[in-house]
Structure 1
Amino acid sequence: MAILLATDFGAAELALWSELLQTELPAETLVSDRMDCDPGVIDIAIVANPPPGALSCLPNLRLIQSLWAGVDTLLRDPTLPAGVPIARMVDPAMNQAMAQTALWAVLSLQRDFFTYAAQQRAMQWLPHPQRRADEVSVAVLGLGQMGQAAARRLAGNGYRVSGWSTREVAVPDVATGSGEAALARVLGDASIVVNLLPLTPATTGLFDRTRFAQMRRGAGFVNLARGAQVVDADLLAALDSGQLRHAVLDVFHSEPLPAGHRFWTHPQVTLLPHVAAQTDPRSAAPIAASNVHALREGRALQHLVDRRRGY
């Protein structure tokens, strides 16, 4: 049998992943072009943004292992084989990278570092009152692996952290809730809102004028999840009106962000090019390989996706 590596990687990145995966799976045959072998011998696909249709017509496919934490793009492919288990990437290194980014964003909002950066460009010397971390309430929306890591890191740095998720989740030192009433309460209580929710039909367009109006006036907004969860025009209106003080955005509807988009030049927006928590091949390749070994040995697969929930 063979493993198909179906990705949108360039040649150098594909070569790196192939080398690392082959090291972890020395007995396996890896192919990066399904035309290089009989489709019937492919029983596992390791994927990262595979082209639409790349996984169709593989009659013996038994596992789809994603190299990404989010699988929303993969699930939107109408040719995705039904009934084949899908596993997403859950990498402790990625969780910690996301927690670091969340801490950087919250700390920068708390201590006015984005404001000071703008003042430097304008050659202004203007100190601002310094808030303590325990005076800042932070809401983390989405309490999966990354959300929990971020919430714990923020709480460990002295912030008053609350968390919200679609299902009730307990996190040490974090007040958690679920449901519509709890979401409105969490948003209204927070000085800073950090979004780490998965992209599902329920969360698409979640952050619109209604949600922004529920937030405390002058709050900060940090989106590290998916761009499709935000209505861009409503976010810009909330920033322009002062309802929101500043937004830190790592993800967008279209990536790269189009050159003419107002986010590029808005004085109250800080941008990242979708780098809050990148997959590190050095740690992710062994994790992907572990599920291959589990399948071969008849053991339970890890981090399986519930297609109905979308994550």
Structure 2
Amino acid sequence: MPINILFAARPERWAQYETPLTTALSDVGLDYVLKTDLLPEDVDYIVYAPNSEVQDFTPYTRLKAVMNIWAGVEAITGNPTLTVPLTRMVDAEGLTQGMVEWVTGHVLRHHLGMDAHIVNPDHLWQSVAPPLSRERPVTILGMGVLGQACAAALTSLGFPVTGWSRSPKSLPGLANEHGKDGLRRALATAQIVVLLLPDTPETENTLNADSLALLPRGAVLINPGRGPLIDDDALIAALDTGQVGHATLDVFRVEPLPQDHPFWAHPGVTVTPHIASETRPDSAARVIAQNIRRGEDGHGFLHLVDRAAGY
């Protein structure tokens, strides 16, 4: 008897995922039916995006697991009708690699001072060489899969990287900090800060007026994680005083970022439109297919979400 897999996401996503999922599910040897319109009582798995029309999971009486195609799960973890295992997207080939490339690119951009040469309307001859990477401390807030991958890439380029997480982690090759005292230490030396924390009640406004004041004057912020990690008003105030030298922001509390938001006009802010990383259908489909195969074989699912922690 085939397993029934419901694809529940925006209609345009089906066009992107149908062929990769069909290929990946067949490659792992599954006997399956994959549709966007299965009867709830017949569904075994849901390949899911939190902005889909499926919000009440109660009718899905034989559901075994929900496979999220996003890395972020904050929009679904609190759903009381979802009682089966929930997995998040961890995709080294696509999502992780994309984040590593974006973060590395913007760290190097700020480290090398590229903006002053790219936008130079007065044709100033600024013959000042940047320091070497070993002289530019970087702190990454959030030591999950993405944070660890970005830390490895930056370390390989010679940057001294400090990783901070809410709970202790042992990560060879990094200065590891955790907890409130660790956050103060991690920020105190950071000339560049990269935010890759999940969006939870505990992480909201991790960077606020008090924590921004801990940074060396003129430090740079790079946020490809989640918008609520930063207190917007506190950041603007810190930019205005020069406490923060520049902020490159890819994520925001409201997206798309409203046209009248101060970030657009502030000379110390670079806005990018949530492009730091994206789920790639081909590689994401392979992750999903392999996880369903594991579930059917009784091996347990990978990338399970801890709903109490929120990620």
Q: Find the aligned partners of 1:102 and 1:53 in 2 and give their Cα distance.
A: 33
Query: Partner of 2:119: helix, strand, or coil?
Result: helix
- Deviation, 1:186, is 0.5
How far, CA to CA, are the matches of 1:202 and 1:196 in structure 2?
Answer: 14
- Aligned equivalents of 1:173, 1:222: Cα separation in 2: 22
Partner of residue 265, structure 1:
265
Tell me the CA shift for residue 209 of structure 1.
0.8
Could you tell me which residue of structure 1 aligns to residue 130 of structure 2?
A: 130
Distance 2:11 2:88 in 1: 18
State the secondary structure of the residue aligned to 1:214.
Answer: coil
Residue in structure 1 matched with residue 189 of structure 2 by the alignment: 189
The residue that corresponds to 1:147 in the other structure is 147
2:62 maps to: 60
In 1, the alpha carbon distance for the partners of 2:39 and 2:251 equals 38
TM-score, normalised to structure 2's length? 0.93
CA distance in 2, matches of 1:6, 1:190: 42
Q: Give distance in 1, aligned partners of 2:80 and 2:255.
A: 23
Counterpart-to-counterpart distance in 1, 2:98 and 2:16:
21
In 1: Cα distance, 2:168 partner to 2:302 partner: 21
Change (3 A) 1:157 1:246: same
Corresponding residue for 1:89? 89
Q: Which moved more, 1:280-289 or 1:47-56?
A: 47-56
**Identity of matched residues, %:** 36
- C-alpha deviations, 1:108-133, integer Å up to 9, x for none? 111111233332x5544433342111
- Residue type at the aligned position of 1:32: T
Give the drift of 1:216. Answer: 1.3
Measure the CA separation in 2 of the matches of 1:79 and 1:58. Answer: 14
Computed over aligned residues only, the root mean square deviation of the Cα atoms, in angstroms, reads 1.6
Q: CA deviation at 1:237?
A: 0.8
What displacement does 1:210 show? 1.1
Cα distance in 1 for partners of 2:72, 2:130 equals 37
Residue from 71, 75, 78 that aligns with 2:77: 75
1:102 aligns with 2:103: yes
Alpha carbons 2:8, 2:54 under 8 Å: kept: no
After superposition, residues 1-311 of structure 1 pair within 5 angstroms as 1-10=3-12, 13-26=13-26, 27-33=31-37, 37-49=38-50, 50-51=52-53, 53-76=55-78, 78-82=79-83, 84-93=84-93, 94-119=95-120, 121=121, 123-311=123-311
Q: Normalising to structure 1: TM-score of the pair?
A: 0.93
How many pairs are equivalent?
Answer: 303
Aligned-pair distance for 1:54? 5.0
- Could you list the per-position Cα deviations for residues 229-287 of structure 1 after superposition, in whole angstroms to 9, with x for gaps in the alignment? 11111111111110000011110111111111111121111121111111111111010
Where does the alignment leave 5 or more consecutive residues of structure 1 unmatched?
Answer: none
Distance 1:22 1:5 in 2: 11
User: Is the Cα contact below 8 Å between 1:133 and 1:157 reproduced in 2?
Assistant: yes
